[in-house]
């Protein structure tokens, strides 16, 4: 017999996706007909390099303390110090970050859960844009039961200053319905659109948060996976780099970062909160007891972050190979006239528009299209999973090995050629 809570968690079955039986995955030599799976956002291109560093540089430096409870569950002092130096060197914070403002747990996923518990009551919630990282929904809501208020930007560019008017309308509509908004959540660079927010938009968002006295949670987990910049593609601006003194209370502005993306090391399970709120930091450190990153992971990450030359070389190499793979993907999509979010310059994905292959403009048709693509040998996440406004978009991951990338593109292009009715309704 389970409690009501226990039954709710069982019914949610969040592990189901990991237990699905699938045939072999594509491998040019061993399984040329295998499934091309493009669902998880990982930097597969850099994993070997990362593993090699772990084996040769990190493991030999392990000390006895890594088998103890160490400095406690919220990150060793040395790791927090190394991360503070890393952030100060690479995120250009307006006020330098100190190790007291940094709290580690076992991933940004855990932090999202903790932050929802610490900032909302039931029937209070978070403001998010559309589309946005789909796992915010389970991560923020499962334990806290908070409400998520998704903002539609209609035809407005969500990276523009004017997008803030839409956030304001969504907040006011929610409050009229009795949902108090406590925080706005951003992913910058954006998942799934792969774009960085311009500084003036971030300033407008901060002013909005100041006006309504709500938290801004900026998930910057892809911060250093920006592979090109240009006039329509600004580089990464951390929320930490903005002078917020006359805009918003600094206790309301929080950054999430981790090693899963930029360091191709999701398996380390490490993420941190950077916050000037001593009270929030204290609350998160209490709950860190239940989400403690292993001291082994802590020690590995410390060696990585303390080696500035390695970090620079690794991140440069990563940006170069991501750029190469993005170019291969863009060329194939352009040749086949498949629309995609063109301004993307960060992350591991392109947001592609396959609405021309929908049998009708419904979410069910999008789900059917996902299954038709699966039967054609390609697995991708749908627009609905990212709370998109209209059906038909898919997240194409290009950070896979080159053979898989080329094969995945070939399958999508051949599918599109046969099944597209040449009417793309999303206007990407
Ligand atoms: C925007 C964003 N935040 C957080 C995560 C998960 O981070 P972690 O591996 O640190 O739990 C992901 C992973 O896809 C992500 O895309």
Render pLDDT for 312-356 as a digit per residue (tens, 0 to 9): 999 999 999 999 999 999 999 999 999 999 999 999 999 999 999
Q: How far apart are CA 164 and CA 341, in angstroms?
A: 20
* Greatest alpha-carbon span in the chain: 63
Quote the ligand 1 centre to 177 CA distance (angstroms): 30
Ranges 17-21, 170-174, 192-196: which has the least confidence? 17-21
DSSP states along 360-379 = SSSHHHHHHHHHHHHHTTEE
> How do the domains of the chain map onto residue ranges?
4-49+311-419, 68-307
Quote the ligand 1 centre to 351 CA distance (angstroms): 17
* pLDDT bucket at 19, cuts 50 / 70 / 90: confident
Pocket test for ligand 1, best of 14, 105, 109, 190 (most atoms within 8 A of CB): 109
Nearest atom (ligand 1) to Cα of 187: 1
* pLDDT bucket at 426, cuts 50 / 70 / 90: low
The residues, any chain, with a CB within 8 Å of residue 56's CB and separated by 6 or more, are none
Give the distance from CA 31 to its chain's centroid: 30
Residue 225 has pLDDT above 70, yes or no: yes
Quote the ligand 1 centre to 393 CA distance (angstroms): 20
* pLDDT bucket at 17, cuts 50 / 70 / 90: confident
Fold of 68-307: 3.40.640
Residue 427 has pLDDT above 70, yes or no: no
CATH class of 4-49+311-419: alpha beta
* pLDDT bucket at 230, cuts 50 / 70 / 90: confident
Q: What is the mean pLDDT of residues 264-285?
A: 98
On average, the pLDDT of the chain sits at 96
188-205 residue pLDDT tens: 999 999 999 999 999 999
Helix spans in 273-353 (H): 278-288, 295-306, 308-335
Ranges 14-23, 179-188, 254-263: which has the least confidence? 14-23
pLDDT score of 348: 98
Residue 238 has pLDDT above 70, yes or no: yes
The residues, any chain, with a CB within 8 Å of residue 39's CB and separated by 6 or more, are 379, 380, 381, 397
Q: CB of 261 within 8 A of CB of 318?
A: no
Tell me the whole-structure pTM to 2 decimals: 0.96
22-57 residue pLDDT tens: 889 999 999 999 999 999 999 999 999 999 999 999
Quote the ligand 1 centre to 257 CA distance (angstroms): 9
């Amino acid at each position: 017999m389970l409690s009501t809570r226990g039954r709710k968690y069982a019914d949610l079955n969040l592990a189901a996706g990991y237990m699905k039986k699938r045939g072999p995955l594509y491998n040019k030599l061993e399984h040329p007909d295998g499934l091309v799976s493009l669902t998880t956002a990982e930097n597969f291109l850099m994993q070997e390099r990362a593993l090699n560093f772990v084996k040769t540089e990190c493991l030999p430096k392990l000390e006895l303390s890594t088998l103890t409870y160490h400095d406690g569950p919220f990150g060793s002092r040395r790791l927090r110090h190394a991360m503070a130096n890393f952030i100060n060197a690479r995120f250009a914070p307006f006020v330098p970050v100190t190790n007291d403002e940094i709290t580690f747990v076992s991933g940004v996923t855990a932090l999202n859960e903790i932050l929802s518990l610490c900032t909302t009551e039931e029937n209070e919630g978070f403001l998010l844009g559309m589309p946005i990282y789909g796992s915010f929904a389970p991560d923020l809501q499962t334990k806290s039961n908070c409400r998520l208020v998704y903002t539609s930007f209609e035809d407005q560019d969500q990276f523009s200053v004017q997008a803030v008017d839409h956030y304001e309308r969504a907040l006011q509509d929610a409050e009229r319905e009795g949902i108090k908004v406590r925080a706005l959540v951003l992913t910058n660079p954006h998942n799934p659109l792969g774009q960085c927010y311009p500084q003036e938009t971030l300033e407008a968002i901060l002013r909005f948060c100041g006006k309504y006295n709500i938290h801004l949670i900026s998930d910057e987990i892809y911060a250093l996976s920006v592979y090109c910049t240009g006039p329509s593609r600004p580089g990464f601006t951390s929320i930490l780099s903005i002078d917020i003194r006359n805009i918003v209370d600094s206790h309301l502005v929080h950054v999430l970062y981790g090693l899963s993306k930029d360091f191709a090391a999701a398996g380390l399970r490490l993420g941190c909160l950077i916050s000037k709120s001593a009270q929030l930091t204290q609350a998160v450190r209490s709950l860190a007891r239940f989400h403690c990153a292993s001291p082994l992971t802590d020690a590995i990450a410390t060696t990585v972050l303390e080696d500035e030359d390695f970090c620079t070389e690794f991140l440069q190499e990563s940006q170069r190979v991501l750029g190469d793979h993005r170019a291969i993907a863009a060329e194939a999509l352009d040749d086949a006239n498949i629309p995609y979010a063109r301004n993307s310059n960060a992350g591991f994905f392109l947001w592609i528009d396959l609405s021309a292959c929908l049998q009708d403009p419904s979410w069910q048709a999008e789900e059917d299209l996902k299954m038709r693509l699966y039967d054609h040998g390609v697995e991708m996440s749908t627009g609905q999973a990212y709370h998109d406004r209209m059906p038909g978009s898919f997240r194409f991951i290009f950070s896979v090995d080159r053979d898989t990338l080329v094969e995945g593109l070939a399958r999508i292009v051949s599918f599109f050629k046969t099944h597209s009715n040449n009417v793309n309704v999303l206007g990407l």
